[in-house]
Amino acid sequence: MISDIINNYLNIKEAFELSPKLMEIMKEKRKREELFQLVIDEGIDLTKDTISDYFQSYQGDRVNLKQDFTPDSLCELLNSLKRNGCTCYSDVCSGTGSLSIKIISDNPESSYFFEELSKNTIPLLLFNLAIRNIGAVVKNKDTLTEEIFETYILKKSEKYSSIEFGKEYIGGDLSDVVVMNPPYSIKWEPFQDIRFNTFGLAPKGKADYAFVLDGLSRLKDDGELYAILPHGVLFRSGAEQTIRKSLFEYNLVDAIIGLPPKMFMNTAIPTLIFKIKKNKDSKNVLFIDASSEYKEVGKNNILEKEHIEKIVKTVLKRETIEKYSRVVDLEEIKKNDYNLNIPRYVDTFVKEEVPDIIETLKEYVEIESEIKKIEIELLNMMKEITGTSPEEEEKHREAVSLFERIVYGEY
């Protein structure tokens, strides 16, 4: 296994040793390329993030950073949804890079920008990018406050990326596509910022829209944003409703795709893909409810190829499909006070067939007959039992008499 190779090469005895030891290896060209070759020889699938589960199981910070890395099938869906021909991508709250690795494998010559807050995660992210010989800018950064702790510049070379440490990157490159799977509904300290001025501030207790607006600020004039978010962003009132209204005033919301529950390792809640598109041609929103289309694998659910293809086809054609999807005009959304809860727009209710009254009565009579038969058998058995003393015999006769009246409806 890949994890065994890394553990053996780094001489890791305890889980906490992974990040610092791997970072030291990343700083030395010869050693990191030696490790890369060992992993390549093991047969790593470079189209997937094969080490995110390894890191998350032992070091993912679910409590403080709400780390829950994106599963493969959801990464495949995002890659299939994003438009082709893009030259610049940004991955916000990138973790180990799992959300972008499929995109990278299909677009190795594009420019990439990654941001990740967790210092412990950065070595895994650098590993994943450098072993794939990707040119990228990686920032250890707090996306909400925009505080940068460290910057790493990766450049393509003959086989594996070179890594420059401690380099300052000056540039505000806008992206064709921004993808993100930010920590859900974390607390933050709101403040006025150019990213938020037009649309409003996300509430202190839930930073979801702060991440969305940050991603929006990175888009080119025809760019697209795909954010994986909890369903609360669709209907919560207050500041979040104000932000939703502003997004619709600028006609930025393009599609909302409801996903199945139990897709992530550490949370069973259902999530959604919130798609923003600048310079939209249409003045409507596509709603998709794909929550019931999945395959169970162990304790989690995954999207299979046919599920992904159905979602992508529906998005591309902007189709209305009974009990699955619907294209909704902005006026209807406005009448609903910008509540985007998917069941308001996609009716998935399936009417249950009313059972035939005659058949139901027949079943009832049969059950009652069977009960009566068993009661009579039990009564006959009780009559054959005798007490061991005159007192017990008297109690037994009284019990038999009472039960006989119950059986024959005299009680």
- End-to-end distance of the chain based on CA atoms, in angstroms? 73
pLDDT computed for residue 392 by the predictor: 77
Angle at 54 between CA 51 and CA 60, to 5 degrees: 110
Residues 272 and 129 in one domain: yes
In this predicted model, what pLDDT tens digit does every residue of 33-87 receive, in sequence order? 999 999 999 888 888 777 776 665 554 444 444 445 778 899 899 999 998 888 8
Reference 235, options 188, 287, 308, 176; nearest CA is: 287
For 66, phi and psi rounded to 5 degrees? 55, 40
Residues 88 and 188 in one domain: yes
User: If you average pLDDT over residues 252-262, what whole number do you get?
Assistant: 96
- By the 8 A CB rule, do 82 and 179 touch? yes
The answer to whether position 352 is within a domain reads no
Domain of 173, CATH number, reads 3.40.50.150
Residues 124 and 88 in one domain: yes
| Residue ranges making up the domain that contains 40 | 2-344
How many domains is the chain built from?
2
User: If you average pLDDT over residues 294-305, what whole number do you get?
Assistant: 91
Share above pLDDT 70 across residues of the chain, in percent, rounded to a whole number: 93
The answer to whether position 66 is within a domain reads yes
Lowest mean pLDDT among 114-123, 263-272, 279-288, 312-321: 263-272
The answer to whether position 350 is within a domain reads no
Binned at pLDDT 50, 70 and 90, residue 14 comes out as confident
Q: Which two tokens stand for residue 14?
A: 């305890």
The answer to whether position 115 is within a domain reads yes
Residues 384 and 307 in one domain: no
In this predicted model, what pLDDT tens digit does every residue of 227-255 receive, in sequence order? 999 999 999 999 999 999 999 999 999 99
- How far apart are the C-alpha atoms of 37 and 133, rounded to whole Å? 13
Residues 387 and 245 in one domain: no
Share above pLDDT 90 across residues of the chain, in percent, rounded to a whole number: 60
Residues 37 and 140 in one domain: yes
Looking at 310, 344, 378, the residue that finishes a domain is 344
154 three-class SS = strand
Residues 312 and 400 in one domain: no
The answer to whether position 351 is within a domain reads no
- How far apart are the C-alpha atoms of 123 and 32, rounded to whole Å? 11
The letter for the amino acid at 374 is I
Position 355 pLDDT exceeds 70:
yes
Residue found by looking up tokens 């305890």 in the block: 14
- How far apart are the C-alpha atoms of 407 and 380, rounded to whole Å? 11
Looking at 344, 378, 396, the residue that finishes a domain is 344
Position 23 pLDDT exceeds 50:
yes
pLDDT computed for residue 86 by the predictor: 87
Residues 255 and 375 in one domain: no
Indicate the DSSP class of residue 321: B
Sign of the dihedral defined by the CA atoms of residues 295, 300, 305, 308, in that order = positive
Position 264 pLDDT exceeds 90:
no
Residues 391 and 311 in one domain: no
Lowest mean pLDDT among 32-46, 106-120, 331-345, 358-372: 358-372
Q: Which two tokens stand for residue 350?
A: 């399936």
In this predicted model, what pLDDT tens digit does every residue of 311-343 receive, in sequence order? 999 999 999 999 999 999 999 999 999 999 999
327 three-class SS = strand
Position 268 pLDDT exceeds 50:
yes
Residue-wise burial string across 293-326, b where 16 or more C-beta atoms lie within 10 A, e elsewhere = bbeeeeebbbbeeebbebbeebbeeeeeeeebbb
- How far apart are the C-alpha atoms of 161 and 133, rounded to whole Å? 4
In this predicted model, what pLDDT tens digit does every residue of 148-207 receive, in sequence order? 999 999 999 999 999 999 877 776 679 999 999 999 999 999 999 999 999 999 999 999
pLDDT computed for residue 371 by the predictor: 83
Non-local CB neighbours of 148 within 8 Å, separated by 6+ positions: 139, 140, 141
- How far apart are the C-alpha atoms of 198 and 76, rounded to whole Å? 33
Residue-wise burial string across 71-87, b where 16 or more C-beta atoms lie within 10 A, e elsewhere = bbbbbbbbbbbbeeebe
- How far apart are the C-alpha atoms of 348 and 5, rounded to whole Å? 48
Looking at 292, 322, 344, the residue that finishes a domain is 344
Residues 336 and 391 in one domain: no
380 three-class SS = helix
Report the chain's C-alpha Rg in angstroms.
30
99 three-class SS = helix
The answer to whether position 132 is within a domain reads yes
pTM to 2 decimal places: 0.82
Residues 175 and 216 in one domain: yes
The answer to whether position 98 is within a domain reads yes
Residues 193 and 228 in one domain: yes
